[in-house]
Structure 1
Amino acid sequence: MAQLATTAPPGSISWSRWGGVAAAMFSVAWGGNEFTPLLVMYKSNGLAATTVDLLLFSYTLGIVPALLIGGPMSDRYGRRMLLRPAPLIGMTGSLMLAFGHEAVLLMSAGRVLCGAALGLVMAVGSSWLKELSQPPYGPNLPAGTGARRSAMSLTAGFASGAGCAGVLAEWAPWPNTLAYLINAGLCLIAAVWVRYAPETRRPQQNHWRLRDCLWIPAAAHRRFRTVAIPIALWPFTSAATAYVVLPSLMAPRMRTAPIAFSAMVSVITLSCGFAIQFVARRIDKPGTARAAAVSLAIITSGMLLAAVASDILTLWATTATAVVLGAGYGIDMVAGLREIERIANPDDLARLTAMFYSTGYLGLGVPALLSFLHQSFGVGYPVMFGVVALAAAGCLTLVLRNYRV
């Protein structure tokens, strides 16, 4: 059997065991997103806007391979083997960013390593938390507890990393370095803690090939194609719109503390995403795509607000957009992971989770794409966000047509 058995009674494994996995996800997510509010700082230091946006996107070069390979390998070799190195990889990436801020290539390498660590915790950590949140590894908790713990660990890390980095870069010494050093310390603590998490997968003995990573039978499931993938496109597109694009557009108008403002928008976005995940489980209804439809309706509204905010460029419009898109992001994450839990069998869980996140992280390319279209062809941001809102509405229509699959 791939699933390990245990003689321990339900609930005998304390939160400190699954807490190590959550801590790894939190610390690595912190490192992945602390770069975001510093975009304004790097641009003000002379780096071209498109270069900085590409640095943001570059960590998908680490995320996607780690997701697509790490998830299936954890199904094959066990969760611990793949997740335990992730905080150390993230720590290395943060140190490279801390001491390589004058070298774009070194910063790119650091971002790729941070992305690789994030890819591992998203694919492997999400699956591991799901398994540790149910018998025989823990008490019989409500369905979706693992997905909620995973989404909240990541969102809390994203928000904390952005907020801390922005405040430190604005007012603390060593603006290019200190935030990354703090994250390196957090990753080291998580690397120790996660060693106490129990394994939930027995290594398989059958022959395994690397190309098997990309063969996921459950991906042919109709619900995956018509519900999970349409919502997978939007969580990070929404987040990037709120805390990357809009703060950059607002920066020339923020005469004081532009980096802290960027951090504030990041925290607002992700705090709203974090808070709404407490009620997302109630919105979700098995047998329907209610949570997915709600998330896409909110995201469509948020993109329309982004079109207005990018035109008038006021503090309140930007903040309102961050609130709405943050809420859409939060419900989207929980809805997507719940769909994956319903579709996947134990042998496909990590691989299907990896495919969901890989699709989602394409959204981090949106700021660079919009910047390129604006600088090269003069397309206005209000027009581009209008088109993005239409795309979100199209995905909502697809989900509604497959509301009961």
Structure 2
Amino acid sequence: MGVAAAIFAIAWGGNEFTPLLVMYKRDGLPVTTVDLLLFEYVLGIVPALLIGGPLSDRYGRRPLMRPAPLIAAAGSLLLAFGSSSVPMLSAGRVLSGVALGLAMAVGSSWLKELSQPPYAAESASGIGARRSAMSLTGGFGVGAGVAGVLAQWGPWPNTLPYLINVALCVVAAVLIFRAPETTVPQANPPRLIDDLKVPAAGHQRFRLVALPLALWLFTCSATAYAIMPTLMMPKVQGAPIAFSALITVITLGFGFAIQSVARRIDRPGSIRLPALALSLVICGMALAAAASATLTLWLTIATAIALGLGFGIGMVAGLLEIERIAGPSDLAGLNAVFYAVSYLGFGVPAVMAMLHDGTGVTYSVMFTVMTIAAAGCLAVVARSRRG
């Protein structure tokens, strides 16, 4: 429970910024600058994923994961008191990313190991992956919902949402100290550069199934609750931040709810779960193309539902693939590679904003191209079944 609480609190801190994108844009920050701030926490996530995972295989889970909630708290403090300073916002986003990278690579591996003997009773296959995915998605969704409501109607809209996360992270930092270590530190570790290699990343199922899924996980999220609420601002002038929070909660709420069902759909060795996830992504991107062309509220909500389902199923499908591929020595490393690729999706809003402002390409056209690209990934996954 301590590890799950830490993952939840850190995910809360990582996503509380998202519904406030509309607030920062409304208050005068350029759209591209705000979208870049959304992406900047990837600058903390990717190094923490790629280095933290292998280091935890080398030195143990606790030394890498215990500081993570406190790093998240530091990031939220910078965001709370830096609303008028882009450098402070940037630093806060990067620290939030470092914490989230450790939670995803190290925390997910630790939670998976604590969900099986000798630390827990014999459980169904995939329970660790489901607990990790649900802790992350739950934190993402609840954090965004609370932050959006407080920023729209509460006092100190630029500060209070972040201070609540600081308190949660401090509590999680205390709880995680009770969790037992699951990895024996290596007595004579090899060179660090050798630990950073992840041979399992070359596995055919990882390349042809897990990676095509990873490309779309946070592309779905960024599309649903970073791009669409911004486009819909003229239609929801009375409560734009609350609407942004609503779309975020819908996206992640459906993503969270479907994860407990997704494991029952899965069949080891088949592509039914990955194919279902990508089919929903295709549907969601097509709806996004229509919604961005018409600025219709119900189409925006339908987009959030479809992309949320695609995200939730894709997250579980990818983590299940990793559980089956990875050995004990490279589980964290393979988780790191998967999440590092997935988080590149948060760069999509900034790229699309620059294309729109620089070339005049409409969002509807860009989402149509993304629909075709998602169909291409589904074709790759389908081909792996025949291979």
TM-score past 0.5 threshold: yes
User: How far, CA to CA, are the matches of 2:235 and 2:83 in structure 1?
Assistant: 26
Corresponding position: 1:242 with 2:224: yes
User: How many Å apart are 1:211 and its aligned residue?
Assistant: 2.2
DSSP-derived class of the 2:338 partner? helix
Corresponding position: 1:22 with 2:1: no
User: How far, CA to CA, are the matches of 1:255 and 1:217 in structure 2?
Assistant: 51
User: How many Å apart are 1:207 and its aligned residue?
Assistant: 3.2
Q: Which moved more, 1:134-143 or 1:257-266?
A: 134-143
Given that residues 289 and 404 in structure 1 are in contact (C-alpha distance below 8 angstroms), is that contact kept between their aligned partners in structure 2? no
Corresponding position: 1:170 with 2:166: no
User: How many Å apart are 1:253 and its aligned residue?
Assistant: 1.8
Aligned match of 2:77: 95
Aligned match of 1:181: 163
User: How far, CA to CA, are the matches of 2:237 and 2:225 in structure 1?
Assistant: 18
DSSP-derived class of the 1:268 partner? helix
User: How far, CA to CA, are the matches of 2:378 and 2:214 in structure 1?
Assistant: 12
Q: Which residue among 98, 108, 130 is the counterpart of 1:116? A: 98
Q: Which residue among 26, 33, 43 is the counterpart of 2:15? A: 33
Corresponding position: 1:295 with 2:277: yes
Aligned match of 2:198: 216
Aligned match of 1:149: 131
Residues 1-400 of structure 1: matches in 2 within 5 Å? 19-400=1-382
AA of the residue aligned to 1:384: M
User: How far, CA to CA, are the matches of 2:386 and 2:16 in structure 1?
Assistant: 39
User: How many Å apart are 1:206 and its aligned residue?
Assistant: 2.6
User: How far, CA to CA, are the matches of 2:144 and 2:86 in structure 1?
Assistant: 21
Cα pair distance change 1:161/1:404, threshold 3 Å: farther
Q: Percent identity among equivalent residues? A: 66
User: How far, CA to CA, are the matches of 1:336 and 1:404 in structure 2?
Assistant: 19
User: How many Å apart are 1:213 and its aligned residue?
Assistant: 4.4
DSSP-derived class of the 1:233 partner? helix
User: How many Å apart are 1:255 and its aligned residue?
Assistant: 1.9
User: How far, CA to CA, are the matches of 1:355 and 1:213 in structure 2?
Assistant: 13
AA of the residue aligned to 2:241: I
TM-score, normalization by structure 2? 0.99
Given that residues 58 and 195 in structure 2 are in contact (C-alpha distance below 8 angstroms), is that contact kept between their aligned partners in structure 1? no
DSSP-derived class of the 1:236 partner? helix
Given that residues 68 and 213 in structure 1 are in contact (C-alpha distance below 8 angstroms), is that contact kept between their aligned partners in structure 2? no
1:25-84 per-residue CA deviation (whole Å, 9 max, x = no partner) reads: 000000000000000000011100000000000000000000000000000000011000
User: How many Å apart are 1:404 and its aligned residue?
Assistant: 6.1
Number of aligned residue pairs:
387
- Consecutive unaligned residues of structure 2, counting only runs of 5 or more, are none
- Consecutive unaligned residues of structure 1, counting only runs of 5 or more, are 1-18
User: How far, CA to CA, are the matches of 1:404 and 1:114 in structure 2?
Assistant: 41
AA of the residue aligned to 2:120: G
Q: Which moved more, 1:214-223 or 1:96-105?
A: 214-223
User: How far, CA to CA, are the matches of 1:21 and 1:229 in structure 2?
Assistant: 26
DSSP-derived class of the 1:311 partner? helix
User: How far, CA to CA, are the matches of 2:326 and 2:286 in structure 1?
Assistant: 34
User: How far, CA to CA, are the matches of 2:272 and 2:334 in structure 1?
Assistant: 21
User: How far, CA to CA, are the matches of 2:191 and 2:216 in structure 1?
Assistant: 32
1:359-397 per-residue CA deviation (whole Å, 9 max, x = no partner) reads: 000000000000000000000001000111111111100
DSSP-derived class of the 2:83 partner? coil
User: How far, CA to CA, are the matches of 2:115 and 2:386 in structure 1?
Assistant: 27
User: How far, CA to CA, are the matches of 1:170 and 1:82 in structure 2?
Assistant: 36
User: How far, CA to CA, are the matches of 2:191 and 2:36 in structure 1?
Assistant: 33
C-alpha RMSD of the superposition: 0.9
User: How far, CA to CA, are the matches of 1:209 and 1:289 in structure 2?
Assistant: 37
Given that residues 67 and 119 in structure 1 are in contact (C-alpha distance below 8 angstroms), is that contact kept between their aligned partners in structure 2? yes
Given that residues 287 and 404 in structure 1 are in contact (C-alpha distance below 8 angstroms), is that contact kept between their aligned partners in structure 2? no
